[in-house]
Amino acid sequence: MVFGAAPMRDGEPILPRWWRTIDKWTISAVLLLFGVGILLGLAASPPLASRNGFAPFHYVERQAVFGLLALTAMVLTSMMSPQLVRRLGILGFFCAFAALALLPVLGTDFGKGATRWYSLGFASVQPSEFLKPGLIIMTAWLMAASQEINGPPGKLFSFFVTCVVVGFLALQPDFGQACLVLFAWGVMWFVAGAPFTLLGALGASTVLVGTLAYNNSEHFARRIDGFLTPEVDPTTQLGYATGAIREGGYFGVGVGEGHVKWSLPDAHTDFIIAVAAEEYGLILVLFIILLFMGITVRSLLRLIRERDTFIRLAGTGLACTFGVQAIINMGVAVRLLPAKGMTLPFVSYGGSSLIAGGIAIGMLLAFTRTRPQGEIGDILGRRGR
């Protein structure tokens, strides 16, 4: 049997072959998300630009430039073979990890209390955004190698690598990204065949580490206390965001009529969904949720039938990370989760987030391209005979 498109044609040019084998629904959903981000940026960013002395659409123009770079990176990465994606992903992991390790010496916090960025003058770079796809590729490669005959203990190595990365992220402190990469590793470990007892032990360890962080990190404790407090201060970011979502109702207060963008300093980044809810209502929010859900679920359904272990693990990690980051961002805005400082992929403003997201989705598209191969069910069936 052949899964997906027609068999490969000898001498077929790269672009026609790419277009024939790529998941066009996922690309369309990503473009729609980027378009929604530009639309919301037109509403959310002028107040910030005015406060900082820039032209009204300064941040929208920058988002458009970063977005074009991200989409270019996505298309170029999606044209690569899985083997090339793996090699470049591992190389990118080591580069991003080195940048992450040097943050305490060369990085800056921009007055936000967490050293997460390198300032380049004209822009800033957040290494953790680029580290996520690289770490997923690295750990998927190690896990896949452990399933080969006489293979190395790749699952143990992947756990060690993930713990080191989580430790460096926690030192920034950036507990949101640390939880996200730990979740991605846990999902891949589960798909690779981890027993439920070990997953339970991992969950218990996460709770223990969270308790220690709460008792020893003022930054972490302040966010948890703010989340657990029954009364929300209306003058805080969470207070403004929840109030805006409540005011928006089903159809919003009208384009340009929202007020939360004048009060929230992060209205164009972490709380962009509050701007969407206030001005366009529940309708646009549901549309955004459906786009994220469509990309994640469609990618997972295509990966279920993939027989290559590395592709299946890496693709699952990338798809789940993309979906869960969106859940975290929107969950924070409606106060279902503690504040994390995490962007909404392709919608929020941010150069590092957009470009790293383009690379990650490009990797996912490369893994989910249709290729002539026997379905995994046929492979397992032959082994059982």
pLDDT score, position 365: 97
Give residue for tokens 């996200």. Answer: 180
Check: CB of residue 240 under 8 Å from CB of residue 263.
Answer: yes
DSSP character string of 48-64: HHHHTT--TTHHHHHHH
Contact 97, 385 (CB under 8 A): no
Nearest Cα to 144, choosing from 259, 313, 356?
313
Give me the pLDDT at residue 235, please. 66
Q: 3-state secondary structure string, 193-221?
A: CCCHHHHHHHHHHHHHHHHHHHHHCHHHH
CB distance 241 to 264 below 8 Å:
yes
Six token digits for residue 121:
């003058």
| Averages of pLDDT over each 10 residues, the chain, 385 residues | 48 83 95 95 86 87 95 96 96 96 87 80 88 96 90 90 92 86 92 78 76 72 68 71 86 84 80 91 95 96 92 96 94 82 89 94 95 54 49
Radius of gyration of the chain (CA): 21
CB atoms inside a 10 Å sphere around CB 209: 16
Backbone angles phi, psi at 222, to 5 degrees: -65, -40
Residue type, 259: H
Burial profile 244-261: b = 16 or more Cβ within 10 angstroms, e = fewer: bbebbeeebbeeeebebb
**Per-residue pLDDT, 1:** 37
CA distances from 273 to 49, 117, 253, 270, 325 (A): 19, 24, 14, 8, 13
Contacts 24+ apart (CB under 8 A), 186-190: 187/316, 187/317, 187/320, 188/136, 188/139, 188/140, 188/143, 188/158, 188/313, 188/314, 188/316, 188/317, 189/143, 189/155, 189/158, 189/159
CA distances from 9 to 3, 13, 76 (A): 15, 9, 21
Measure the CA–CA gap between 57 and 70, rounded to whole angstroms: 20
Measured CA to CA in angstroms, residue 370 lies from 8, 23, 143, 223, 262 at distances of 10, 8, 23, 44, 47
Q: For residues 41 and 60, is the Cβ–Cβ distance under 8 A? A: yes
Q: Which helix (H) or strand (E) holds 124?
A: strand 124-125
Secondary structure (DSSP) of 105-116: HH-B-TTSSS--
DSSP string, 233-257: PTTSHHHHHHHHHHHHTTT-S-TT-
Q: How far is CA 266 from CA 15, 48, 304, 350, in A?
A: 39, 9, 38, 11
Task: Using alpha carbons, list the distances in angstroms from residue 183 to 6, 70, 159, 170, 323.
Answer: 36, 24, 12, 15, 12
